[in-house]
Amino acid sequence: MNKQTLILIGNGMAGVRCIEEIVKLDSSAFEIVIIGSEPHVNYNRIRLSSVLQGEASLDEITLNNSNWYATHGITLYTGETVVDIDTDKQIVSTDQKRSLSYDKLIVATGSTPYILPIPGHDKEGVYSFRTIEDCQSFIKIARHYQKAAVIGAGILGLEAAIGLKNLGMDVNVIHHSFSIMQKQLDQTASHMLKSALERKGLAFLLQKDTEAILGNSRASGVRFTDGSSIEADLIVMAAGVRPNIQLAASAGISTNRGIIVNEYMQTNMPNVYAVGECAEHNGIVYGLVAPLYEQGKALATHICGVLGEGYQGTPQSAALKIAGIEVWSAGKVHADETTTSIQLYDEQAGIYKKALFQDDKLSGVILFGDTRDKQQLLDSLLKQRDISIVKKQLIEPNQTANVFESMPSSETICQCNSVTKGSMMEAVNTKGLKTVEEVRNCTKASGSCGGCKPLVEELLAYVLSGEHTEKAGKPPFCGCTGFTEEEIIAELQRRPFTAPAEVMNHLGWKTENGCQTCIPAIQYYLGMIRPDLVQNHETAMKKGDTCTLIPQMYGGLTNAEELRRIADIIEIYNIPSVSITHSQRLRLSGIKPDDLPNIRQALQMPICSNHHYTVHSVTSCTCGQNSSFQTLAGSIEKKIENLSMPAPVSISLSCEKDCEDAAIQDIGAIQIYGGWDIYAGGRRGTHAHAGELLCVTENQKDTAAMIKCLLQYYRETANYSEALHQWMSRLGIIHIREILFDQDLRIQLLKSLETDVSLIQNPLTHVKRS
């Protein structure tokens, strides 16, 4: 089978990260071609300010060197620009007269700096701050000139200004607003930041609108609309960026502020995707690393044919990367009539903290002077945690390095690259990592925006210290991974995984295909977290060269017509073995595989699931002249048929005269005078014991409802392979009763169960549990 050709326009961070994800998911699916306008391999544009400030070298910000492209068979054209896309013929053309056909196209053209359209903007000495070449020019100019002006006091402008100051220049920062970083900070934090930057030697000219760049062929200064002016030998325009959409728009691809995409990053044109700063999702254009990487993952998952929710949007967060200044914000930062807030302000210590809430759920955070808990607060923002939890995080921050002892292993250290504490500690311990650079190369932690570098440094020091007292905790779930079961579940809840292979790939499984322990467990947890992924269980059990089928007889009830069809099938297909199971069903064994389709059709009956971890059947007492027990058993079976369980579950209904069997089942209901006794947690086998009395119900309807609620709560809270009696022992029967006796919770459990059942019966109907 010939590979499809995948072309990526743009060799930047978002596009190449998308290619990395595609290669991980299916390295043999595409012939990949990358075309980049810059004469470089993929590098970290976010860390250019670190280079300018002298904290990193150009080599250190390289993300993928030439060997990476060659290793993965990727063709890279650098210093070449795509000038035309023919979406009908599926051809791209470059300024080097090169024409290339594609099967799939990803547009990742990024953004371009906004250059103020004022007289003199094209003079020598006027720059944007976007590329390696810009950075090199600043370093060269600083050797010969003294005065610099930066137009724009956003993150990029301030980082550029500090870099120029560190190069020995006198720097004025010009800004049209009365507050700096006004999109990310409120007035209090903005004022504190301005004061801190002034102490570092920056000068600010606020509420100034630039009218013209002064000078002849070379810039010599800046004139403002109020008539005033300043001298400047180097002028940096950092007044924002604009998505680079001209190429896409000229090809007929829908654009607004950016290239309009859906949740799978598809444009309106067939086989054309967009990702990164040029893409607009739900009216938002993102410029930060974490959301762009999430977009790339969603695109890669879709283009490789893996089911997923797609990109759902990301709360914005921002951090200023200037040594000695800690400032960070996320989500909504400006209060309005819909918000309430918690604010802590210590002017003497230079610390300010603010949390905004909508409906008592965290909606935004600002931290100045102390950002140690930003990862926890960002996690709370993503998970919409309640005000009571956030208040404790804000007021009682972790004060010592022992914060890592109480931090769960599933806590994310690096949001950009989804590196958790557990995965980083495992890498340090198993691979002998000693430096932050080694950690970055191995796990990518701190390799993108760099905002988590201090936390990575602290965690590395903690792991390597002689005072490291953290207990080993629970062992890994299985030999395929270093994650515990709880950590795996936490990751499944955080990310829209759709299959075990995707989970194992993302979490770095040691064994490529997993094992009999982790694969079914992941599948079960995925089904519980994402019930829309549940699939029908196999109904035929293969043994040797033959198969076994068990026709479904709800409640053990059948009739002459069904029995006659079964008898005819046994004769026609020469089925050698027929037996009655302990669950009151007929087992047909020795069926030839080729006969299975015809037998299923001839039976005209449902088939019992062969999946071990289900409720295979509900047995019932057969004494007496009526079939009320079997009818009740059948009605319960129809409501829970084929539902995955954490472990096999047995259910039995009985009368008082024949109560022994029901008492030792996982769930047993015994009819008594005036109602039903429901027992749970019984155990069969050589160490059999009776279950505990859970509750008493008045009628069959309440009995069925209580059994279904108990099953659903068990499904939602038990560990995989944890038997019902073990689960009850862990949670305690008092707690379980408190849940099941609450009417609102019972209603919710029944709704959840009905949703899961409907998704098994109608797998194409995607309904999500609230």
State CA 114 to chain mean position distance: 32
Rounded to whole angstroms, how far apart are CA atoms 515 and 285? Answer: 41
**359-364: long-range contacts, CB 8 A cutoff, minimum separation 24:** 360/386, 360/387, 361/385, 361/386, 361/387, 362/331, 362/387, 362/390, 363/331, 363/332, 363/339, 364/329, 364/330, 364/331, 364/332, 364/333, 364/339
pLDDT at 765 over 50: no
* Spatial CB neighbours of 531, under 8 Å, sequence gap ≥ 6: 755, 756, 759, 767, 768, 769
Contact of 719 with 756, CB cutoff 8 Å: no
Highest-scoring range by mean pLDDT, 397-401, 451-455, 683-687: 451-455
**Where residue 249 falls among pLDDT bands split at 50, 70, 90?**
very high
Least confident segment among 51-65, 647-661, 696-710: 647-661
pLDDT at 180 over 60: yes
Does 4-111+243-303 match 126-239 in CATH topology?
yes
Q: Tell me, what's the pLDDT at 609? A: 66
Q: Tell me, what's the pLDDT at 439? A: 85
pLDDT at 195 over 60: yes
Q: What is the C-alpha end-to-end distance of the chain, expressed in Å?
A: 43
- Domain parsing of the chain, residue ranges: 4-111+243-303, 126-239, 485-529, 541-603, 618-761
pLDDT at 303 over 90: yes
Contact of 529 with 756, CB cutoff 8 Å: no
* Rounded mean pLDDT, 499-522: 81
- If one looks up domain 4-111+243-303 in CATH, what number appears? 3.50.50.60
Model confidence over 368-382: pLDDT tens digits?
A: 998 877 877 887 787
Highest-scoring range by mean pLDDT, 418-432, 496-510, 605-619, 711-725: 711-725
Rounded to whole angstroms, how far apart are CA atoms 631 and 653? Answer: 11
H helical segments located in 72-173:
132-141, 155-166
Per the model's pLDDT, the better-predicted residue between 467 and 338 turns out to be 338
Least confident segment among 403-407, 494-498, 614-618, 636-640: 403-407
Q: Tell me, what's the pLDDT at 7? A: 98
Please provide the size of the chain in residues: 770
* Rounded mean pLDDT, 99-118: 95
Q: Tell me, what's the pLDDT at 766? A: 41
Highest-scoring range by mean pLDDT, 236-250, 463-477, 528-542: 236-250
pLDDT at 673 over 50: yes
Angle between helices 700-717 and 733-740 (to 10 degrees): 120
Rounded to the nearest integer, the mean pLDDT of the chain is 84
Highest-scoring range by mean pLDDT, 157-161, 383-387, 686-690: 157-161
Q: Tell me, what's the pLDDT at 460? A: 82
Rounded to whole angstroms, how far apart are CA atoms 7 and 346? Answer: 53
Contact of 81 with 39, CB cutoff 8 Å: no
Q: Tell me, what's the pLDDT at 543? A: 56
Contact of 304 with 290, CB cutoff 8 Å: no
pLDDT at 365 over 50: yes
pLDDT at 462 over 80: no
- If one looks up domain 618-761 in CATH, what number appears? 3.30.413.10
* Rounded mean pLDDT, 137-142: 92
- Show the CA angle centred on residue 515, arms to residues 509 and 520, nearest 5°: 100
- Show the CA angle centred on residue 207, arms to residues 203 and 210, nearest 5°: 85
Q: Tell me, what's the pLDDT at 544? A: 59
- Show the CA angle centred on residue 594, arms to residues 591 and 599, nearest 5°: 60
**Where residue 721 falls among pLDDT bands split at 50, 70, 90?**
confident
* Rounded mean pLDDT, 158-174: 94
Among 498, 535, 532, 499, which residue's Cα sits nearest to residue 755? 532
Per the model's pLDDT, the better-predicted residue between 358 and 479 turns out to be 358
Beta strand residue intervals within 65-103, DSSP E:
75-77, 82-86, 91-94, 99-101
* Spatial CB neighbours of 180, under 8 Å, sequence gap ≥ 6: 153, 154, 158, 173, 190, 193, 194, 197, 204, 206
Q: Tell me, what's the pLDDT at 528? A: 79
Beta strand residue intervals within 263-323, DSSP E:
272-274, 279-281, 317-319
What percent of the chain has pLDDT above 90? 36
Amino acid identity of residue 7, one-letter, is: I
* Rounded mean pLDDT, 270-292: 92
Rounded to whole angstroms, how far apart are CA atoms 243 and 287? Answer: 9
Q: Tell me, what's the pLDDT at 764? A: 45
Beta-sheet pairing, 147-151 with 170-175: parallel
Architecture of domain 126-239: 3-Layer(bba) Sandwich (3.50)
* Rounded mean pLDDT, 711-716: 89
Per the model's pLDDT, the better-predicted residue between 187 and 631 turns out to be 187
3-state secondary structure of 567: helix
- If one looks up domain 541-603 in CATH, what number appears? 3.30.70
Q: Is 547 left (phi over 0), alpha (psi -120 to 50) or beta?
A: beta
pLDDT at 770 over 50: no
Rounded to whole angstroms, how far apart are CA atoms 752 and 710? Answer: 12
- Tokens 């150009």, located at residue: 58
Least confident segment among 232-241, 319-328, 649-658: 649-658
Per the model's pLDDT, the better-predicted residue between 533 and 223 turns out to be 223
Contact of 200 with 165, CB cutoff 8 Å: yes
Model confidence over 9-43: pLDDT tens digits?
A: 999 999 999 999 999 888 888 999 999 999 999 98
